[in-house]
Amino acid sequence: MCWLAGVSRAGYYRALREQHPEEEDLEVRAAIQEIALGHHRRYGYRRIGAELRRPGCR
């Protein structure tokens, strides 16, 4: 079917995955944004990672 449509199989599955983000990914993104905005965007990825690990979030 991918051959008939003219798309690669990898491209098809990549597009399929991007359309349906995992609920867990959305929660992590929200937590990262909350930490970054709470510290006036002065925290980098290391500090944000430490903040996420602190309360037990993985």
Q: What is the pLDDT of residue 21?
A: 67
pLDDT tens digits for range 18-52? 766 677 778 888 989 999 999 888 899 999 989 88
CB 33 within 8 A of CB 26: no
Q: How many CB atoms lie within 10 A of CB 22?
A: 9
pTM of the model: 0.55
d(CA 34, CA 21) in angstroms, rounded, equals: 19
Q: What is the pLDDT of residue 19?
A: 67
| Per-domain boundaries in the chain | 22-58
Residue 6 has pLDDT above 70, yes or no: yes
